[in-house]
């Protein structure tokens, strides 16, 4: 079996293992809170459409894994799962996320969080608003006082410190659960796996 085929099967297995969780209507991911609320609706209905196997995603995985392994000996934890329960209008929801890099104080409390973003080039208006929001949600959930967004591109390696700021996680959960932000940003639809079957897609006249 070739290595690309093995990689594909490994990604497919990971995806299958997450399928039950991905289609649980009580589960909301931190990334759901900072993106189009209808993507979650579509994921619940058409989960297989969200499987993607592309070089840019494999590169992103490699960067995350590589940075994690380089920094592990310097006290950084990688891919740290986080989970909180919320009751919204009498229904229980589980907010789930995964922190790219986390460092703790001597007392074990989270101190610094890093979110890693990979792309072909440094996005304009970096750091991006939804990336800042995602990091601030993790800071709010963990109590970490310092947060950094690390952008990795083929020719840039740039970090931005993000000040902590309180985030109304319950309000974001409501927006997501009740589908009040579809899309959250106009540009989202162009990159969305569901755009061809989505009634809210904003693709422009020639798309």
Which of 28, 32, 33, 39 forms a contact with ligand SF4 (CB under 6 A)?
A: 39
Comparison of 32 and 115: residue with beta carbon closer to ligand SF4: 32
CA distance 172 to 157: 30
DSSP state of 118: E
Name every residue whose Cβ is closer than 8 Å to that of residue 207 and which is 6 or more positions away in sequence: 190
From the list 36, 95, 133, 137, which residue makes contact with ligand SF4 (rule: CB under 6 A)?
A: 36
Segment lying near ligand SF4 (by CB under 6 A), choices 18-26, 95-103, 161-169, 192-200: 192-200
Among 11, 104, 130, 195, binds ligand SF4 (CB under 6 A): 195
Q: Are the C-beta atoms of 147 and 137 separated by less than 8 Å? A: no
Count of residues touching ligand SF4 (by CB under 6 A): 14
Is there a contact between 148 and 131 (Cβ–Cβ < 8 Å)? no
If we measure between CA atoms, which residue out of 151, 159, 170 comes closest to residue 84? Answer: 170
188 touches ligand SF4 by CB under 6 A: yes
State which of residues 30, 133, 167, 182 lies at the interface with ligand SF4 (CB under 6 A): 182
Scan residues 41-60 and list those touching ligand SF4 (CB under 6 A).
42
Which residues of this chain interact with ligand SF4, rule CB under 6 A? 36, 38-39, 42, 182-183, 188-189, 192, 194-195, 198, 200-201
């Amino acid at each position: 079996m070739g290595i690309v085929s093995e990689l594909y099967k490994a990604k497919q297995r990971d995806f299958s293992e997450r399928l039950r969780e991905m289609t649980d209507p009580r589960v909301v991911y931190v990334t759901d809170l900072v993106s189009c609320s209808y993507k979650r609706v579509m994921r619940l209905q058409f989960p297989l459409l969200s499987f993607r196997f592309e070089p840019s995603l494999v590169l992103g995985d490699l960067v995350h894994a590589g940075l994690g392994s380089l920094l592990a000996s310097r006290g950084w934890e990688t891919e740290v799962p986080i989970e909180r329960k919320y009751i919204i209008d009498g229904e229980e929801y589980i907010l789930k996320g995964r922190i790219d890099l986390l460092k703790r104080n001597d007392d074990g409390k989270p101190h610094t969080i890093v979110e890693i973003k990979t792309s072909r080039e440094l996005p304009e208006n970096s750091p991006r608003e939804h990336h800042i929001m995602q990091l601030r949600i993790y800071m709010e959930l963990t109590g970490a006082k310092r947060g950094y967004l690390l952008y990795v591109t083929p020719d840039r390696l740039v970090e931005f410190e993000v000040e902590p700021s309180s985030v109304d996680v319950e309000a974001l959960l409501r927006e997501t659960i009740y589908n009040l932000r579809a899309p959250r940003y106009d540009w989202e639809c162009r990159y969305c796996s569901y755009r061809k079957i989505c009634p809210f897609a904003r693709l422009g006249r020639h798309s």
